[in-house]
Amino acid sequence: MENEINIFLSTCSVIIGFIGFFFVLKIWLVWKRLDKNVLKARVFLDPNFLIRNWLFIFIAGAFIVIRRILHLFDLLELPKPSVEMTIIFDLMGMAVVVLLVILAYYWYKLVHSALEHNVRKDVPYLHK
């Protein structure tokens, strides 16, 4: 049963990781056309965006450190992790992936809103 749960969690992490890759790829493809000043303004004028970014990065980093500590315990043959501990280990790994994908999604939304600003500015018939 434990193996099936770990396989499920790993599969979900991979699928979610590909979704995050999609967001990052979309950002990268439009990056050169983006007005960086508009992007900077939107980032710093929205305090929730910055708080969310730091919170997601902090939590993801904390999970990575906890996973490294558990791995070190395993290498040093300190108390053997129980079945529940390996599931928690995989859940923390999936949580890191989910947090990073959510972070990429928020950046994707922000970049594309700044890109829409460029499109409106460049289209002559929108200005009267």
pLDDT value for 121: 52
Q: Which residue has the higher pLDDT, 14 or 115?
A: 14
Q: What are 23-53's pLDDT values in tens digits?
A: 999 999 998 888 888 888 888 888 899 999 9
Opening angle at CA 101, ends 98 and 106, nearest 5 = 125
Looking at residue 76, the DSSP 8-state letter turns out to be: T
CA 65 to chain centre: 17
Taking the domains of the chain in order of start, what are their residue ranges? 2-126
Binning pLDDT at 50, 70 and 90, where does residue 127 land? very low
pLDDT value for 125: 47
Backbone angles phi, psi at 88, to 5 degrees: -65, -40
* Least confident among 15-24, 25-34, 117-126: 117-126
- Cβ atoms 128, 46 nearer than 8 A: no
Binning pLDDT at 50, 70 and 90, where does residue 123 land? very low
